[in-house]
Structure 1
Amino acid sequence: MSLALPSPDVLRHIVDVHCHPTDAPTIIPEAMENLALGTIVSMSSCSRDQVLVRNLAMSYPDKVIPCFGYHPWFTHLISLRGDISKEDHYRQLFGLGNDLEDLALLLPSLPDPIPLGNIIAELRQHLEEFPQAMLGEVGLDRSFRIPYDFSASPRRLSPFTVPIQHQISILQAQVDLAVELGRNVSLHSVKANQATTEFLAQTKVKHGNNWNKISLDLHSCGMSADSVKYIQSRYANIFVSLSTAINVRSSNYVAVIKACDPERLLVESDYNDVNMCAPQTWDMVCRVADVKEWSTETEWKDEISLEEWGAVRRLEANWMRFKAGNHSNIAHRRNMSMLK
């Protein structure tokens, strides 16, 4: 779908809630200065880009909300103990039940693991430096295989995946910090529906009332419509965002949009090219509007009734709701909806 962009007055009310500009080889300053969207939410994923995201947010504080965190693709580079050697860490993580010859090929390309305690200390420092910062991109992924060389093109994949329990331990530590500091979360979940659902249930119990103080976005959500409906029926703080780049590969995204609470739906580009953030996010705005049967704004009017709200105004209100956190529990939301 290739669509003409709306006027700048409309675009500045749109938020790209998940993108990766620091993954690009370079960020051209003119691209950031000419960014048409009101805000982009810039993700980090590994050691390399924590400081890159920080620097981008420092340079463009009115346009960038920084997110700090470690993506599940890089969790094998984190050790749960601080007193373990490189070889012992990776052999314990990958060795049992796997081909030791493949492991011997992979080991030379792997760095010394970083202790989890160091990771959390670094995240705390960055999150405290930026009061508006979020945790992201973090999550769980059962499909990713570790490449022999991340920088190679094309990448040759090893047979190894990161054990899900190791991913959960690192995700839990990061989300615990987010709850402690009252920061929202952008969550990756691929082929991990059950593990994600169990993680959410355990985390809600662990943190009690503090859990609802933060918002959590299931980004580029690839879950089934039934899973989305189930999760949102039990958690008042769970939002869903969709991207053309990922979700439109499958027609499932239409059912997900239909199933999603209209007040907890967001849009994103999931792109690493700043120049593509506006067209990709606008494309998803239009797709959401089509499925939800909402109008789309062609011009911006400051004073209109609720009945006249189009997709941009609705999604902007959803973002403000996500950003604010402090959600009522599900029972309260149901009672309020009955009064409307």
Structure 2
Amino acid sequence: MLLLAFLNTVTSNQHSAATLRMGDQKQEASETKHFPWHLGAFDAHCHPTDTVPSLDSIAGMKTRALTIMATRGQDQRLVADFADKLGITEDTVPALESTSTSGEKSRGYIVPAFGWHPWFSHQIFVGAKDEMPSKFNHYRMAISPSPEDDDFIASLPDPRPLSDLLDQTRHYLERYPHAIVGEIGLDRAFRIPRNEMVDNGYERDPALTPGGREGRRLSPYRVDMRHQQNIMKAQLNLAGEMQRAVSVHGVAAHGVVFETLEETWRGHERRSISKRERKRRESIDVAHQEKKKSEADEQSSKPGDPKPFPPRICLHSYSGPADTLRQYLHPSVPAIMFFSFSRLVNFSSTSNKAVAAIQAVPDDKILAESDMHAAGEKMDDLLEDIVRKICQIKGWTLEEGLKQLRSNWLHYVFGQTRER
């Protein structure tokens, strides 16, 4: 018996070592192998409208489709303009799913996203138009700490009512059937820029779309968190009404992001199945039960079935701990959750947290993004880089990884599980 146990242990150890070697070989191949762009690489979150001249590069990019975010008043129209030129249509969806090696690309390169970023949410007044306070009173309520610096408030744009923002977003979502809502979210760390430039010889780049930081000094003021939540929830409700996916920003606010999302789906949670019920189902054809559940999930995400929460949510450049994923992936959560990762955010410094999160995210819920502010070769390079990184961490070959990531992106944007 002891000899048999010893032989079993040796065999098991040899098998484990062989498995690890195979994983290492896949990782090495993912790092060195020619990148198979023909399989389709999809950028789940980027900002090329921040650098308008770069938009002419989109048609020549290797990336098959870009999910382009709007963030503020100055770029909503820009995103729409390029959706008119290069937007995905029903005719181009089959080409997005294709793995043809012919080298031909579909006409559609852009999925537009319309939303108001938390960095600019102080510019929005929560309330009816006829109740708008003075500019100074508005910003004293929307900014923390409440500024006493009248010159600073005077330098800020005139606020606009939330109803105008929502009407504009609804108009764009109706105009572009595949558009999503984004970038929206919460940020505890961001400080509102002043008007003056930093004292390091920085000069404003005329190619940049106005309204961003653009090298300006940072003030001591932040957007009030409750105000950010109100703006975020209003946009989440609109996404639920229109049954569109959302791309969510969360920095130094992971707990509050979840609480805010949870508020929108409260009362709509899925019923959790007990262990006893699960065993009972397993004994009566679990495959049939799962098929029915999947069909119900797909049916619930179709247009014409409005809810107060979005059907699909992506936490972009997810920077939270791996343990936090559990609350988003709990069976009671009625929205389908995705998590995207970027080289710029997740691997700019220490990467241990990102590696753990990527390992923990289910294979069918992970997305890749560049989060880049200019289209072109650099954006392609960043997307390739993060895809290779995800494949390395997951132990996928590049072919396996690209096929899985393509399937995930199609599910995220279009709301249907596609065959890989």
The TM-score normalised by the length of structure 2 is 0.69
Do residues 167 (structure 1) and 269 (structure 2) align?
Answer: no
Aligned mates of 1:71, 1:115 — CA distance in 2? 15
* Contact 1:213/1:326 (<8 A) preserved: no
Matched, 1:91 2:158: no
- Structure 1 gap segments, 5+ residues each: 298-309, 328-340
The equivalent position to 2:363 in structure 1, one of 262, 270, 275, is: 262
| Equivalent residue, structure 2, for 1:333 | none
Q: Does 1:23 align with 2:23?
A: no
SS at match of 2:62: coil
Alignment partners' CA distance in 1, 2:193 and 2:310: 38
Match of 1:241 among 332, 340, 346: 340
1:70-149, aligned counterparts within 5 Å?
A: 70-81=116-127, 82=129, 83-94=132-143, 98=146, 100=148, 103-149=149-195
Report what 2:329 is aligned to.
232
Identity of aligned residues (%): 33
> 1:323, CA displacement in angstroms?
2.5
Is 2:302 the counterpart of 1:273?
no
Whole-Å Cα distance in 2 between the matches of residues 159 and 35 of structure 1?
Answer: 40
Deviation at 1:25, TM superposition (A): 4.3
Q: Shift of residue 105 of structure 1?
A: 3.1
Cα distance in 2 for partners of 1:183, 1:119 equals 17
Moved more, 211-220 or 273-282: 211-220
- The letter for the 2-side match of 1:215 is R
Does residue 14 of the first structure (1) align with residue 41 of the second (2)?
Answer: yes
The letter of the residue matching 1:73 is: W
Inter-partner Cα distance in structure 1 for 2:384 and 2:171: 34
Aligned to 2:316: 219
In structure 2, what is the Cα distance between the partners aligned to 1:198 and 1:147? Answer: 28
The CA RMSD measured in Å over matched residues stands at: 2.2
Q: Structure 2: which 5+ residue stretches go unaligned?
A: 1-29, 88-107, 196-210, 270-299, 301-306
1:119, distance to aligned residue in structure 2 (A): 0.6
TM-score for both structures, normalised by structure 1: 0.85
Q: Hey, what does 1:35 align to over in structure 2?
A: 61
Deviations 1:256-292 (A, max 9, x none): 1011111100000000121122211111111111111
Conservation of the 8 A alpha-carbon contact between 1:229 and 1:260: no
Change (3 A) 1:152 1:181: closer
Provide the secondary structure at the position in 1 that maps to 2:217.
coil
Question: Stretches of 4+ moved more than 6 A in 1?
Answer: 1-4
* 1:70 CA displacement: 0.1
Aligned residue pairs: how many? 309
Aligned partners of 2:126 and 2:162 also within 8 Å: yes
Q: Which has the larger radius of gyration?
A: 2
TM-superposition CA deviations, 1:21-73 (whole Å, max 9, x none):
100142352x1221111100000000100000000111112100000000000
Shift of 1:233: 2.5
